[in-house]
Amino acid sequence: MYHNAEPLLAWLKRQRRTNEVEMGLMAHRFDLDGALSAGQWELAWRTREVILVAGIELYLRTWGLDPHIGPQHVDRARAVLHHLEQIDGDLADEAWRLLLEDAPIDEAPLRRHVAAVDHFLQTRLSVRSARSRGDAIEVWADGVRVLREVGQHLGVAGSAHWYLSETADPAAGLDWYDEVIRQATLQGGADRRRVR
């Protein structure tokens, strides 16, 4: 059985965004735990919502979707839920219910709502990084490792200790990802010329 191969440049861009979302989810797991420990219920409520939206985006990415969303949280929420509805209307309805619940004023119901979001992401969407802070860190680090290994294979991430090649010119102003994308673009052009 043959599968369509994804072009390297498209894969790199999609993987980079996935890794950014994983990093955000990881950071928000720390924020949520801290807010709950400090009794900052409003911050915990808002963070639970951001985690829900990030988890849905990660789920969509497992389907190969790359939803183009803006930087504003409301726009992101609307976009990911629209895409989720296209895949599974029941999941989208469940996510909307979680997103639009009224904020509780006491700790016990707030913790139940947080647990409901975690349960939805873990069991309904199978988002591994939603299980715990440790899992979130591991998933994010694995994603960075894969991107770095691809960069090393392309010859642009030669250092084992950092993402840029040790011979990279710091005056160029490129970060490791920009250089990997540049190399992939050049490689893709060379491949196309060879095919002709």
The answer to whether residues 173 and 96 belong to one domain is: no
Higher pLDDT, 102 or 196: 102
Closest-CA residue to 58 (of 35, 89, 33, 26) = 26
Question: Rounded CA gap, 66 and 60, in Å?
Answer: 7
Question: Rounded CA gap, 110 and 156, in Å?
Answer: 47
Domain count, the chain: 2
Q: Is residue 17 part of a domain?
A: yes
Question: Token pair for residue 32?
Answer: 């949520």
Residue type at 101 in one-letter notation: E
The answer to whether residues 121 and 166 belong to one domain is: no
Question: Rounded CA gap, 149 and 155, in Å?
Answer: 10
In contact, 73 and 53? CB cutoff 8 Å: yes
Burial of 179: CB neighbours in 10 Å, binned 0-12, 13-18, 19+: buried
Residue type at 129 in one-letter notation: S
The answer to whether residues 169 and 76 belong to one domain is: no
* Mean pLDDT for the chain overall: 80
pLDDT digits (tens, 9 = 90+) for 86-139: 999 999 999 999 999 999 989 999 999 999 999 999 999 999 888 878 888 888
The answer to whether residues 127 and 186 belong to one domain is: no
Which residues fall within 8 angstroms of residue 84, CB to CB, at 6 or more apart?
56, 59, 60, 91, 92, 95
Global pTM? 0.75
Closest-CA residue to 58 (of 66, 69, 47, 68) = 66
The answer to whether residue 7 scores a pLDDT higher than 50 is yes
Q: Is residue 144 part of a domain?
A: no
Domain boundary among 81, 98, 131: 131
Q: Which domain holds residue 158?
A: 154-195
pLDDT value of residue 169? 52
The answer to whether residues 120 and 183 belong to one domain is: no
CATH number (domain holding residue 97)? 1.20.120
Question: Rounded CA gap, 118 and 156, in Å?
Answer: 38
The answer to whether residues 53 and 115 belong to one domain is: yes
Higher pLDDT, 37 or 175: 37
The answer to whether residues 112 and 161 belong to one domain is: no
Which residues fall within 8 angstroms of residue 44, CB to CB, at 6 or more apart?
32, 35, 36, 110, 114
The answer to whether residues 123 and 160 belong to one domain is: no
In contact, 184 and 8? CB cutoff 8 Å: yes
Question: Rounded CA gap, 164 and 11, in Å?
Answer: 19
Enter the DSSP assignment of 128.
Answer: G
Question: Token pair for residue 161?
Answer: 């200790």
The answer to whether residues 158 and 113 belong to one domain is: no
* HSE value, Cβ hemisphere, 13 Å, CA-based, for 55: 30
